[in-house]
Every structure is written in structure tokens, then in C-alpha cells.
Structure 1
């Protein structure tokens, strides 16, 4: 005797309401995550980057400051380029290699056909 179809214990309107509540909660958490990331970025930059005090500097002192900042930017840009080049190289060189099923090879060599192939290969003048 076939089993009667089970009806869902939750109505379609209830499902829709729960789905919209879940989406609203996810949106709220996503927005909070964006705010948290921005606050973390500002905190990190305030720790790492000292504010520039340019008031009261002469023209030559401002030019020296610009040269110093330019040298720092060049160093960081070179490091960024080197890291990017390494990443691109690894991406090109370290592609996932398609690995076959090793059992197929074992099964093929385990029977008489596999042994015959090995024997014939050893007997052939080219060794192949």
C-alpha cells in the first residue's frame, strides 16, 4: 500500500516570511561587517601612518619631504610588483594537475593481459 504524501508542516506564506526575515538578518550582518572592516582599516592606518606636518616648513624642506615620500612609494611599489609577479608565476606554474584513477592502471596490469604487455615490451628491440 503506497504511503500517503506528507504535507509540509509549514505553510508557503510562513516559508516566505521566514525567508525574508533571514535575508533581512543577513543584510544587517553584512552591513555591520562592512562598518567593522572600515573601522579596522582606519584603526590600522592610524597606527601605521603618522600624520604629515607641513605647516611652517620651507620650500626646500617640503621638497625634501616630497623626495623622501616618493622614494618610499617606489620601494613599496617595487615590493608590490615582485609579490604580484610571484603570485602570477605560481598561478601559471602550480595549476592543478589532473590525476587519473590509479586503480585502473593496477587492474590493467594485474591480469594476464598486463603481464603479457610487460613481457612483450621487454622482448621488443626498442624496449617499449
Structure 2
């Protein structure tokens, strides 16, 4: 109830302000630009009036341009001074950060949101390998390599390599 009364009061005040601004604008225009009665003027008087109006328009435009230039200059100065103030304050001290232990699931849920539920179980996708099998394969490879070296040793091994190269070329 109180909130609605405050809103109603604010709208009334806003309307009053708008009416006051319109009245002030009308008064200012009456003072600065009185209504023209050109019906009783001769051609020469109309020319003089137009020249006077053009002169006043020129002076108003010059004043407006000067004011805009001053405003731009002042805003630039304000920005420069703000930058200088920040520079004079020096660098900000960075606070010491605390280590927080968060699981990978919690990080993913915070990044992706609550819509996506992703579990990060890296071990689930791995292939299971028995240690005994790998050791047997290693010994088998070692023994095969030694046999190959012994078979290729001497002139017989070189002859075999030479014959194998000829067979591939043909």
C-alpha cells in the first residue's frame, strides 16, 4: 500500500515538473523571440529583419559551438585527471588467495550449469591390462630380436637382405 502511494506521488511530481518546464520554455521564447508581424512590413524592412535574424542565428551557433568545445575539453581534462589519480594511488595490493579443494564434478557443474550433469570418471574409459601379459610380451620381443640379429649376421644374412630387396623391386 505504501509503495503504491509513493509511486502515485512520484508520478504527480513528475507531471508537475514537466508542466513547469513547458511554462518556463514558453516564457523564455517570448522574451528572446517575440512573434513577428510581417504583414505590415515593406520589402526593405523584411530584408533587414531577415539579416538581423541571420546575424542572431550566427551568434547563437558560435556560442553553442564554443560551449560544446569547452564541454569536450573539460571532459577530457576530467578523464586525464582521473587517470593521474589512479596512477598516483599506485598498484593495488592483491589479496592472498586461499587454496580451495573442489572436485572435478563440482567445477564442471559450476561451468556448465545445472542442466548438464557430467561425471568425470577418467578410469572408467581406460582399458584394463594385466601386468603378467605385458611382461611376457616384452620377453618375447627381446628374444625375437636376438634371433633376427643372429640370423642376419655374416654373409648369409646379407645375402637374405639382398634377395629380399630384389624381390620387392620386381
Over the residues paired in the alignment, what is the CA RMSD in angstroms? 1.9
- Name the counterpart of 2:40: 56
Q: How does 1:38-117 map to 2 (within 5 A)?
A: 38-95=22-79, 96=82, 97-98=85-86, 99-100=88-89
Give the TM-score normalised by the residue count of structure 1. 0.59
The structure having more radius of gyration, on CA atoms, is 2
Moved over 3 A (4+): none
SS in 1 for 2:89: coil
Structure of higher RCO (CA pairs closer than 8 Å, 6+ residues apart): 2
TM-score by length of 2: 0.46
Equivalent position to 2:2, from 8, 18, 24: 18
User: Following TM superposition, by how much is the alpha carbon of 1:51 offset from its aligned partner in structure 2, in angstroms?
Assistant: 2.4
Count of paired positions: 86
Matches of 1:90 and 1:26, distance apart in 2: 34
